[in-house]
Amino acid sequence: MTSLAVDRRAILASRALAVTRLQLTTNLLPLAIPLVVLAGSFVVNVMVFSASDRAQAEGTTGGVASIYFAQLVVAWASVHQNFSFTVGLNATRGAYYLGSLAVAVLQSLVYGLVLFVLNILELATGDWGIGLAFFDPAGLTPDASPATYLVYTVPLAFVTMLGLFLGSVSKRFGTRGFFLLSIAAFLVGGLVATLITHLNGWEPIVEWLARQSLRAVLTGWLLVPTVLASVGGWFVLRRAVP
C-alpha cells in the first residue's frame, strides 16, 4: 500500500469523524425522538394496565416496537436533513456516509443498552408490579446475558440501516422514483415467490426456518440484511445530487 493511499484513507477517516461529531452535536433532538416515543408508549401501557383488570396478571404488549419504528423513520429522514447540508460544507459523499454509519451503530448500541437495562428493571420488579411484560413481550430476554443485549441491538441496527438505505433511495431518485422502485421491488418479490412455488421450494424453506430459534434469527441471520442495506445505501447515495 502506497503512502498516498494511506493518506487518502486517513483523510477520509478524519472527515468521517468530523461528520459524526457534526451529526451528534447538531441533531440531538432527532436522536432523542426514538427514546421519547418509547417513553410515551411505556407510560400509556402502564396507565392502561394499572386501570384494567389485567393488572397483577401476566400480560404482554407490543409497545416496545415503537422505538424500532421511530428509529426507522428518523434514520430515513436524517438523509434528507443532513446530506445536502453536510456535502455543502465540503464533506465528500463517502465521508458523509461513513459518518452516518458510525452514528447509526452508536445509536443502536446506546438504544440497545437502554432496552437491556430497562428489561433488567422489569424482571427485578416483577413486570413493574402490574404484570406488564413491556420490554420482553415474546419471552426472548429472560436474563441479563450478552445474548439478551444483542436481541435488542441487532434489530435496532437493522432498522437503522434500512432507514439509511430508504433515505438514500428517496434522496437520489425523488418521491416518484422511490415509489416506482418500490413497485418494481414488489414485482420482483412476486416473481421470486412464484418461482419458489413452481419449484416446490416452500417446504424446505419452512422446515429450515422451523429449525432456527427466534433468538438466533434476531441476533445472527438478521445481520445479513443489515449489512446488505448499509452497503446498498452507499451505492445509491454515491451518485445522489446534494
| Mean pLDDT value of segment 159-183 | 89
Distance (Å) of CA 114 to CA 54, 67, 117, 230: 26, 11, 5, 23
Packing angle of the helix pair 223-237, 93-124 (nearest 10 deg): 150
- Exposure on the CB side of residue 8, measured as CA atoms within 13 A: 7
**Per-residue confidence (pLDDT) for residue 163, from 0 to 100:** 94
**Per-residue confidence (pLDDT) for residue 7, from 0 to 100:** 67
pLDDT at 226 over 90: yes
Q: How far apart are CA 60 and CA 135, in angstroms?
A: 9
Which residues make Cβ contacts (< 8 Å) with residue 176, sequence separation at least 6? none
Going by pLDDT thresholds of 50, 70 and 90, the confidence category of residue 219 is confident
| Mean pLDDT value of segment 112-122 | 92
pLDDT for 39-51, tens place per residue?
Answer: 999 999 888 888 7
More confident residue, 235 or 81: 235
Q: How far apart are CA 45 and CA 55, in angstroms?
A: 11
Average pLDDT, the chain: 85
Query: 133: helix, coil or strand?
Result: strand
**Per-residue confidence (pLDDT) for residue 5, from 0 to 100:** 57
| Mean pLDDT value of segment 169-181 | 86
More confident residue, 12 or 165: 165
pLDDT for 7-66, tens place per residue?
Answer: 677 777 888 888 888 888 887 788 889 999 999 999 998 888 887 765 555 566 788 999
Query: 105: helix, coil or strand?
Result: helix
C-alpha cell at 19: 461528520
CA-based nearest residue to 71, from 103, 116, 42, 99:
103
- Exposure on the CB side of residue 113, measured as CA atoms within 13 A: 5
| Mean pLDDT value of segment 199-215 | 80
DSSP notation for 56-113: TS-EE-STTHHHHHHHHHHHHHHHHHHHHHHHHTT--HHHHHHHHHHHHHHHHHHHHH
Burial of 242 (0-12, 13-18, 19+ CB in 10 A): exposed
